[in-house]
């Protein structure tokens, strides 16, 4: 008996499938609501080499769904905490972690050594970045995403010529971006179910056991338990949106999802703040979102609270808004523009996750 | 003899269903996906600024695509959460 005996005796699985799991190298991007079940079940199943990438730290509001973490991990990097937990459980698999956010210039380096990529991220910026990198590197991508009480699961790019995320949605949503869990709420069991389905797809893809969702997408509704599966098709419009090579990918600004006139770089925003002390910097994230900005004077105006125009905002000539990735702040910049005419209102590209954010 | 109506069923997911305030529609006389989109944007102007893909009988389609009688259409928005 060994720790895999119950799956090895499963008809049609067997020792050969187990050896394939042992030989597999899987990169799990995001150790959040989707990432946690992937991490737990892929390690339990005996994937020989797992690497977890996440630049975020655990916060208290993560705990309803990110079940690897508890109160003791609040403030600790998620990838590090998850890897530490796995190492305490299993000595027979290789576990690595990268406590960083993926960016256009590091994504290829992180993905290249692995056979399969699991996308457990929580924003379109990273999802498109990961998709494009997987297409250019020829890596199968096991995809999942959630919205309120629904989830999507798919396997992209499993073979050459296979469908990828851009075949379904050639370009990221521009305005009125689909809100994420921080804004709309989520029951922890939903990413638990969807992330577990995603882990199952990874195991099926590696071993050839059953029929993975290759070039298919499954929708799941938690409230009705209904599923809806459809076949995906190549989209003639998709290919031109993917960078032609890794070099072009590395220089593309994924965070600026659209050519927004309101978008500015951190460099320009900080310059604007230095030039005119009346100008204001505003964090529009919810209070629990990390990391907080401590090096620069700023105000907090979470999107969930109704906007309050303070005298400081009234007096400013330019207002710079930032959020986690630059998406919500762009939406708020557009809303504020309607309320405050005659002011320059900007959204900082890439938000606090931008490598240019003044965190140090 | 009465002409047989060209009926279709439309299923909406995620934010599309939220904005339409319903997850299912039964429609008549919609021959293709362009006409369907025109109808939806007219009936539900709130859909105009969100993106969704369309499947016809569980196959995602691109461009303007014919909708056969008794087809099942799904309106599929992207999700980003994780």
**Looking at residue A305, what is its pLDDT?**
78
> What average pLDDT does the segment A206-226 reach?
97
Residue from A6, A90, A61, A71 nearest A290 by CA: A61
Q: Is the model's pLDDT at A181 over the cut of 50?
A: yes
Q: Which CATH entry fits the domain spanning A5-251: 3.90.1150.10, 3.40.50.720, 1.10.10.10, 3.90.550.10?
A: 3.40.50.720
- Count Cβ neighbours within 10 Å for each residue of A326-349 and write b for 16 or more, e otherwise: bbbbbbbbbebeeebeebbbbbbb
Angle at A234 (CA atoms; ends A233, A240), nearest 5 degrees: 150
Beta bridge partners of B61: B54
Task: Specify the CATH architecture of the domain B10-67.
Answer: Roll (3.10)
Q: What is the pLDDT of residue B33?
A: 97
Cis peptide before A237 (omega within 30 of 0): no
pLDDT digits (tens, 9 = 90+) for A84-101: 999 999 999 999 999 999
CA distance A21 to chain B (A): 25
Give the one of B49, B51, B81 whose C-beta lies nearest to A145's C-beta. B81
Cα dihedral value A352, A353, A355, A359, nearest 10:
40
* Residue ranges covered by each domain of chain B: 10-67
Query: Are A168 and B74 an interchain contact pair (Cβ–Cβ within 8 Å)?
Result: no
> What distance in Å separates residue A210's CA from the closest CA in chain B?
21
In percent, the amount of chain A with pLDDT more than 70 equals 95
pLDDT-based confidence at residue A175 (cuts at 50, 70, 90): very low
How many cross-chain Cβ pairs, A to B, lie less than 8 Å apart? 98
Q: Which residues of chain B have a CB within 8 Å of the CB of A121?
A: 82
Structure tokens at A266: 């951190």
SS3 assignment, position B2 = coil
Name the residue of chain B whose CA is nearest to A153's CA.
B79
Summarised one tens digit per residue, pLDDT across range A237-265 is 899 999 999 999 998 888 765 445 678 88
CATH of A263-353, one of 3.40.250.10, 3.30.160.20, 3.40.50.1820, 3.20.20.70: 3.40.250.10
Per-residue pLDDT at A132 exceeds 50: yes
Average pLDDT over residues A13-39: 97
* Span A46-60, average pLDDT: 95
Domain extent listing, chain A:
5-251, 263-353
Contact call for residues B32 and B65 (beta carbons, < 8 A): yes
What is the DSSP annotation of A185-241? Answer: ---THHHHHHHHHHHHHHHHHHH--S---BTEEEEEETTT--EEEEE----TTTGGG
Instruction: Say yes or no for a CB contact (<8 Å) between B55 and A230.
Output: yes
A145 has a chain B CB within 8 A of its CB: yes
Helix ranges (DSSP H) in chain B: 14-20, 33-43
Chain B residue with CA closest to A118: the answer is: B82
Give the helix ranges, DSSP H, for chain A: 5-8, 14-23, 35-45, 78-89, 107-111, 124-137, 165-168, 181-184, 189-207, 246-251, 266-275, 311-315, 328-339
pTM of the model: 0.79
Pairwise CB contact (< 8 Å): A176 & B62:
no
Q: How far is B77 from chain A (nearest CA, A)?
A: 9
């Amino acid at each position: 008996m060994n720790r895999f005996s119950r799956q090895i005796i499963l008809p049609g699985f067997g020792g050969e499938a187990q050896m394939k799991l042992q030989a597999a190298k899987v990169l799990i991007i995001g150790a959040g609501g989707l990432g946690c079940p992937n991490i737990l079940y892929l390690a339990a199943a005996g994937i020989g080499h797992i690497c977890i990438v996440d630049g975020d730290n655990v916060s208290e509001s993560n705990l309803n769904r990110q079940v690897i973490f508890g109160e003791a991990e609040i403030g600790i990097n998620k990838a590090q905490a998850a890897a530490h937990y796995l190492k305490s459980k299993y000595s027979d698999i290789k576990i690595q972690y990268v406590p960083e956010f993926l960016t256009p210039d590091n994504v290829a380096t992180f993905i290249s050594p692995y056979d399969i990529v699991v996308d457990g991220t929580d924003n379109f910026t990273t999802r498109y970045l990961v998709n494009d990198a997987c297409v250019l590197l020829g890596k199968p991508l096991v995809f999942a995403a959630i919205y309120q009480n629904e989830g999507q699961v798919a396997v992209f790019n499993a073979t050459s010529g296979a469908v990828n995320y851009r075949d379904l949605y050639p370009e990221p949503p521009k305005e009125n971006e689909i809100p994420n869990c921080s804004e709309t709420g989520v029951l922890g069991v939903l990413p638990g179910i969807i992330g577990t389905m995603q882990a199952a797809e990874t195991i099926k893809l590696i071993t050839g056991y059953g029929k993975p969702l290759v070039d298919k997408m499954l929708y799941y509704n938690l409230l009705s338990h209904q599923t809806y599966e459809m076949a995906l098709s190549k989209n003639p419009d998709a290919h031109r949106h993917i960078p032609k090579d890794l070099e072009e990918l590395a220089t593309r600004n994924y965070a600026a999802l659209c050519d927004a006139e309101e978008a500015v770089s951190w460099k320009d925003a900080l310059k604007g703040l230095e030039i005119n002390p009346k100008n204001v910097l505003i964090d529009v994230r919810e209070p629990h979102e990390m990391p907080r900005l401590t090096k620069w004077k700023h105000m907090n105006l979470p999107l969930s609270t109704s906007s309050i125009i303070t005298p400081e905002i009234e007096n400013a000539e330019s207002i710079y808004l930032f959020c986690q990735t630059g998406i919500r702040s762009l939406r708020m910049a557009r809303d504020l523009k309607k309320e405050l005419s005659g002011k320059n209102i900007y959204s900082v590209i890439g938000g606090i996750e931008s490598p240019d954010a003044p965190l140090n | 003899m009465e002409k047989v109506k060209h009926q279709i069923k439309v299923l909406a997911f995620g934010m599309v269903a939220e904005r339409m305030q319903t997850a299912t529609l039964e429609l008549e006389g919609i021959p293709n996906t362009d006409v369907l989109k025109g109808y939806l944007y007219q009936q539900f102007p709130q859909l105009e600024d969100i993106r969704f893909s369309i499947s016809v009988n569980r196959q995602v389609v691109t461009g303007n695509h014919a909708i056969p009688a008794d087809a099942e259409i799904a309106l599929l928005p992207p999700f980003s959460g994780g």
